[in-house]
Amino acid sequence: MPDFSNPHDWLPWAFASLMGLSILIYVVLDGFDLGVGLLFPMADRTEQDRMIGSIGPFWDANETWLVLAVGLLLVAFPPAHGVILSTLYLPVFVMLIGLILRGVAFEFRAKARDHHKALWNRLFFVGSAMTALSQGFMLGLYIMGLEKSLATYAFATLTAISLTVGYSFIGSTWLIHKTEGMLQQKSVVWARRSLWGAVTGVLTVSIATPMVSDRIFAKWFTFPELLWLVPLPILSGVVLFALWRLLQQMPKPQDRQNWLPFAMSTALFVMAYLGLAYSFYPYVVPEKLTIYDAAAAPESLWIILVGALCVVPVIIGYSILAYFIFRGKATDLRYE
């Protein structure tokens, strides 16, 4: 824990926590709507409209968490921002093109003439896939310490696929919650299939991360820290097993517990994320720059922190309001 009497010590820590929190919220929230985009080609036309309906009111705000995360990296750790983003130049570029295609396809598909709709549908999928794959690729390179070699690229390719499957998984659990009938049954099947991909991904990352760095290995496998850490994998295993059983029984009569798969997959994402965060703390550029080396001047961090503490609760408040307003089963979207 940081020393709260010394701003040079706790301010970077506070900002790393804020940034970590917004990345986590981003991964879960945009994760499910990217996932819905990834599942797009497997649905028919009416189902696609319904799938869009399930994420339409949310995707924009979900993506804003990415802007906040990269913004915090930019403002709180400027040198790290430069190093990370110029090293990841190409995957970032692919992600941006993906985000552009996906975001506009969303709007265009609803407004373009009918024979163009198929094109925008395809671009919606392509954009979602580019975004998910490049994010997974960047995750892999980050875990590998941003080193560029054939082995790290191979690993990054693996994480790219895993994260993409992981997003499809959380996306299908979202659809189980938001849809009904045939589409819901399809979503259950998608969830069952993609669950294994997600598990493989988490396992690979969990095994690879301590292998890459002695420091991370030491952080996990020393006494007494081990005692505190053991519950994390055990709990993940329990949730995973429960989720697997649950998906066998879905959808339940009267559509009971339709929200549970999404809640459990969110829990899985959170635990995997916490594990990663623990491994890399206090580094913001793995093994090169700590959050303390990279932090911006305290007077600038102060003014952002004051703003963030006032505004973030309000943001969370009205975000919850939006999810509340659009609760229940999705309908086809109409501008009205």
Which residues contribute to the site for another protein (CB under 8 A)? 56-58, 60-61, 63-64, 66-68, 70-76, 78-79, 81-86, 88-90, 92-93, 96-97, 99-104, 106-108, 111-113, 296-297, 299-300, 303-304, 307-308, 311-312, 315, 318-319, 321-322, 325-326, 333-336
* CA–CA gap between residue 38 and residue 128 (Å, rounded): 6
Q: How far is the CB of 311 from another protein (least distance, A)?
A: 4
**Which of 106/262 has CB closer to another protein?**
106
Q: How far is the CB of 20 from another protein (least distance, A)?
A: 16
Please state whether 329 falls in left (phi above 0), alpha (psi between -120 and 50) or beta: beta
The helix or strand, by DSSP H or E, that contains position 285, with its residue range, turns out to be strand 283-285
**Tokens representing 124?**
């919606």
**Which of 39/308 has CB closer to another protein?**
308
**Which of 72/195 has CB closer to another protein?**
72
Per the listing, tokens 């991909």 go with 197
**Which of 242/322 has CB closer to another protein?**
322
Q: How far is the CB of 56 from another protein (least distance, A)?
A: 6
302 contacts 7 by C-beta, under 8 angstroms: yes
* CA–CA gap between residue 248 and residue 244 (Å, rounded): 7
* CA–CA gap between residue 84 and residue 89 (Å, rounded): 8
Cis peptide before 79 (omega within 30 of 0): no
* CA–CA gap between residue 148 and residue 128 (Å, rounded): 25
* CA–CA gap between residue 93 and residue 327 (Å, rounded): 34
Q: How far is the CB of 265 from another protein (least distance, A)?
A: 23
Q: How many other C-beta atoms lie within 10 A of the C-beta of residue 278?
A: 16
**Which of 138/272 has CB closer to another protein?**
138
Residues 6+ apart with CB under 8 A from 189: none
Q: How far is the CB of 325 from another protein (least distance, A)?
A: 6
**Which of 64/213 has CB closer to another protein?**
64
Q: What is the dihedral of CA 294, 298, 302, 308, to 10 degrees?
A: 0
**Which of 234/309 has CB closer to another protein?**
309
Angle between helices 231-249 and 181-212 (to 10 degrees): 160
Long-range contact pairs involving 187-192 (C-beta distance under 8 Å, separation at least 24): 187/39, 188/247, 188/250, 188/251, 190/39, 190/42, 191/247, 191/250, 191/261, 192/247, 192/248
Q: How far is the CB of 233 from another protein (least distance, A)?
A: 34
Q: How far is the CB of 25 from another protein (least distance, A)?
A: 11
**Which of 90/189 has CB closer to another protein?**
90
Q: How far is the CB of 210 from another protein (least distance, A)?
A: 29
Q: How far is the CB of 113 from another protein (least distance, A)?
A: 6
**Which of 47/63 has CB closer to another protein?**
63
